[in-house]
């Protein structure tokens, strides 16, 4: 997470520097933010689930975890609130989860020695977007932040090909933030999704952590 925030900071710094050098006398009004816009986005999640002192789900001993990759796909509506600010409700189909390695001595016979957990949600973020004034042709950067609510639709362990939905929380809460670039109608975006609710029923401290890279376009 720290590395992701650092990358966002330096991208913003570079963009601001270029804009200042390009044309300091330019009109900085953002005309592309003056109308209602509908669009679609899709991309890649790099997801994991935080542990509670190394423990996750029913495994009451420290384990090693690895991130998994998954699809995110959906639509958004951008509603202008002013020259530089808009609100953007979104809806995505998104895949989160984690890969878990069992501790030595817990593997039995030919059974899978770990878990490959996949959690599939319908996610509804609502973000406030700050559109940054620049003077580079049609390129408009923005920062965004907002809450997110997700409905669980599938929870499974791919290693054992079994459902874990009964022991998984039926909804999830999070905070979404990141940096986007609008290049005309084309959208490029990087975001971090910080889960604040427990992923599993009756197990505390296991929360979704997701880095997302997306592209899309607006109408």
CATH of the domain at 61: 2.40.160.20
Q: Is the separation of the CB atoms in 192 and 176 below 8 Å?
A: yes
Question: Measuring CA to CA, which residue among 76, 108, 80 is closest to residue 90?
Answer: 76
Provide the pLDDT confidence category of residue 97 given band limits of 50, 70 and 90: very high
pLDDT at residue 130 greater than cutoff 70: yes
Query: Using 50, 70 and 90 to split pLDDT, how confident is the model at 67?
Result: very high
> How sure is the predictor about 186, in pLDDT bands with cuts at 50, 70 and 90?
very high
Question: How many C-alpha atoms does 69 have within 13 Å on its Cβ side?
Answer: 3
**What's the pLDDT at 134?**
76
Percent of the chain with pLDDT over 90: 63
What is the distance between the alpha carbons of residues 210 and 53, in angstroms, rounded to a whole number? 19
What is the model's pLDDT at position 29?
A: 41
CB 86 within 8 A of CB 130: no
Dihedral sign of CA atoms 52, 54, 60, 63 in order? positive
Query: Residue 171: helix, strand or coil by DSSP?
Result: strand
Number of domain units in the chain = 1
Residue 37 has pLDDT above 60, yes or no: yes
Confidence of residue 148 (pLDDT cuts 50, 70, 90): very high
Mean pLDDT of the chain: 85
Q: Are 195 and 174 spatial neighbours (Cβ–Cβ below 8 Å)?
A: yes
Q: Where residue 110 falls among pLDDT bands split at 50, 70, 90?
A: low
**How high is the pLDDT of residue 6?**
53
- What is the pLDDT at residue 61? 78
Pairwise pLDDT comparison (9 vs 78), residue with the higher score? 78
- pLDDT (mean) for 171-188: 96
Range of the domain at 176: 2-23+30-218
Tally of residues, the chain:
219
At 135, the pLDDT band (50, 70, 90 cuts) reads low
Which tokens belong to 165? Answer: 């939905």
pLDDT band at 162 (very low <50, low <70, confident <90, very high): very high
């Amino acid at each position: 997470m720290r590395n992701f925030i650092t990358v966002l900071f330096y991208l913003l710094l570079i963009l601001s520097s270029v804009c200042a050098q390009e044309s300091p006398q330019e009109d900085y009004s953002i005309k592309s933010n003056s109308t209602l816009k509908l669009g679609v986005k899709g991309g890649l999640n790099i997801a994991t689930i935080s542990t509670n002192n190394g423990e996750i789900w029913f495994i009451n001993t420290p384990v090693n975890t690895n991130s998994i990759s998954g699809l995110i796909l959906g639509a958004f509506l951008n509603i202008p609130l002013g020259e530089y600010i808009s609100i953007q409700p979104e809806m995505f189909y998104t895949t989160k989860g984690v890969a878990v390695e069992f501790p030595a001595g817990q593997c039995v016979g030919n059974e899978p020695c770990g878990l490959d957990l996949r959690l599939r949600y319908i996610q509804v973020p609502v973000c406030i977007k700050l559109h940054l004034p620049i003077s580079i042709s049609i390129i408009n950067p923005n920062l965004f932040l907002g809450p997110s609510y997700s409905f669980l639709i599938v929870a499974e362990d791919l290693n054992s090909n079994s459902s874990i939905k009964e022991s998984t929380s039926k909804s999830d809460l999070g905070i979404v933030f990141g940096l986007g670039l609008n290049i005309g109608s084309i959208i490029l975006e990087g975001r971090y999704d910080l889960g604040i609710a427990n992923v599993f029923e009756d197990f505390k401290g296991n929360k979704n952590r997701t880095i997302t890279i997306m592209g899309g376009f607006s109408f």
